[in-house]
Amino acid sequence: MIMDKNSDNIQVMVRVRPFNGRERAEDARSCVILDDSRPNCIILDAKPDQKAFNFDWVGGDRTTQQDIFEVVGKAMVHTCLEGYNCCIFAYGQTGAGKTYTMQGRGLEINDEDILNRGLQPRVFDYIFALKAKDMNENPDLKYLVTCSYLEIYNEQIMDLVRFRKNRQELKMILA
């Protein structure tokens, strides 16, 4: 399933991260069950009963960074280029994989880093590739690309693009 710009304004998508090295070494057991017959559902193996939760899309532990881009990123870019504001809100507890999904590992151009690139660099690459194509076809076309990059942690909001300058400004705006 690819994100549908014509469906609800807010869509909730879940990515279940694979075990990390420590968890594999400890032979940990997952409490999240994914059932192929219910692709938009996660089942939590809880006591006394399992609990099922439905979402707009669920990516399992084998979901790649490219998969996330294909499902979330491409549709958002096209919606944004049609003039709509778009936002990706990554939420989860520490260690859940938010930073990896959004940023990936490294931005060097080599095979491993390309596979590990997150949603943000993929979206930016795609936007600028489309912009270049459009401008080649129509040299009079003008683009203005702006981006906000905020981190909310422990009820503190940080602008990660202009961190030092706007820190007090952001606190005052949101107060």
Q: Count up the domains in the chain and report the number.
A: 2
Q: pTM score, two decimals? A: 0.77
Query: Which contacts qualify for 85-89: CB closer than 8 Å, 24 or more apart?
Result: 88/119
Flag whether 4 is in a domain: no
| pLDDT at residue 65, as a whole number | 92
What pLDDT digit, counting tens, does each position of 85-125 carry?
A: 888 888 888 888 888 899 888 666 666 678 888 998 899 89
Label residue 117 left, alpha or beta by phi (over 0 means left) and psi (-120 to 50 means alpha): beta
- 16 or 151, which is more confident? 16
Q: Are residues 90 and 103 in the same domain?
A: yes
* 73: Cβ contacts below 8 Å, ≥ 6 apart: 119, 122, 123, 126
Q: Are residues 46 and 92 in the same domain?
A: yes
Domain of 119, in residue numbers: 13-144
Where residue 170 falls among pLDDT bands split at 50, 70, 90?
A: very low
| pLDDT at residue 109, as a whole number | 66
